[in-house]
Amino acid sequence: MGGDGKLMDMLAGYAASHQHPFNIFVHMIGIPSIMLGVLIPLTWVSTEIGDITVSLAHVVMIGFFFFYLTLERLFAIVFLVFALLLTQIAATISALPVETSGMIAAIAFFGGYAAQFVGHAVEKSMPVLVKHPLQANLAAPFFTIVEAFKILGLRDDLFNKVQAQIAQRRQQEP
């Protein structure tokens, strides 16, 4: 693992507010929706490099990838594949008329956030976004990949450590 301490801190901090299965479910849909809502307008800014179109969406997703590499290589690589696929979907949508692609972007973005707030209401927890907006937006796409591993039953050792750290933090709270 890259930054094991940093990874554990990030995962435990994020996972502590995401324990209820319904909340996790809506995040697994809401976060990619929000990403799509952001990526669509970012694909409007692009340039040709040889035969390849590179958009601002590609640049941002590659930036996230490099940040996630500092946390954990496998999750970062899986994120990159997912992000490039989502960027391609965004590029396809952005080829529609601006009114249509802009409306799809807005619905995906705001709908994704609305779903997450509903999930947190069910869990009765404060969204990380409210407390730490930058951290939440950096962590959420990564957490989605990590959660997919958990759902598939992969890396149980990591998830057991995360749950143990959450329990330890809760015991230390006044």
4 pLDDT higher than 70: no
Residue 51 CA to residue 162 CA, distance in Å, equals 44
Which pTM was predicted? Answer: 0.86
Instruction: State phi, psi for 49 to the nearest 5 degrees.
Output: -120, 100
pLDDT tens per residue across span 98-150? 999 999 999 999 999 999 889 888 888 877 777 777 777 888 898 899 889 98
Residue 38 CA to residue 26 CA, distance in Å, equals 18
Instruction: Determine contact, residues 145/79, Cβ cutoff 8 Å.
Output: yes
Domain extents in the chain: 4-172
**Pick from 81, 88, 65, 89: nearest CA to 142:** 65
What's the one-letter identity of residue 163? Q
Contacting residues for 93 by C-beta, under 8 A, at least 6 apart:
36, 40, 101, 104, 105
Q: Tell me what pLDDT residue 20 has.
A: 84
33 pLDDT higher than 70: yes
